Chains A and B, each alone.
Chain A
Amino acid sequence: AQSVSQHNHHVILSEAASLELGCNYSYGGTVNLFWYVQYPGQHLQLLLKYFSGDPLVKGIKGFEAEFIKSKFSFNLRKPSVQWSDTAEYFCAVKKTGGSYIPTFGRGTSLIVHP
């Protein structure tokens, strides 16, 4: 069964600091990869996705992620965080083809101090 690991469970940064959140998955086949964000009191929403093509994908609010197939990783990055980036971040993986069973990581709680 596929699994997703998010290594940083809690991250605390000051505004303007750079951010990198790790995500590794265990499935060896072709996958679609996602990062979701959940702001306090809001719905889970999509930050960015990778289906195929350029492994460096750009999402909303200045976030980007790089898919490194050889490392089974899909790390999320932002060069300069803002207080408004305080949220819970989830990495998710879906196998392509076969049964539809998406897998989420346990999440990373990010707190940005002004």
Chain B
Amino acid sequence: DAGVTQSPTHLIKTRGQHVTLRCSPISGHKSVSWYQQVLGQGPQFIFQYYEKEERGRGNFPDRFSARQFPNYSSELNVNALLLGDSALYLCASSGTWLEYFGPGTRLLVL
């Protein structure tokens, strides 16, 4: 079975730009979560979506937004990028309480 897939794998942007990251969950999973992992830190929760509705939101500014599509895939959008947004962005899907993580998208903001 295919695991969680994320695209792109790497991305370089400049300050002020906008970025869209994509995630496809494991087949049959209806929940997708997004995390930001800065180098040397643990993942920090950004959003969770279940059945296309936001189920949880972490402590991130409004520049961060997400949505989930009818096929349960998800997008994370970040506007007005800052240098501090440089990180590994992880997507996780779950069918119940267990989360399965994707490989992440590494974003570098210059």
Contact = CB atoms under 8 A, between A and B. Distances in A.
Interface of A: 4, 6, 32, 36, 43-46, 49, 51, 90, 92, 94, 99-107
Nearest to B97: A32
Nearest to A103: B45
Interface stretch (B35-43, B63-71, B76-84): B35-43
A99 B92 CA distance: 17
B56 A104 contact: no
Contacts of B97: 32, 49, 51, 94
Interface residues of B, number: 25
B102 A104 contact: no
A75 B3 CA distance: 29
Given A51-B97, A100-B56, A101-B56, A90 B102 contact: no
A39 to B, nearest CB: 12
A85 B95 CA distance: 28
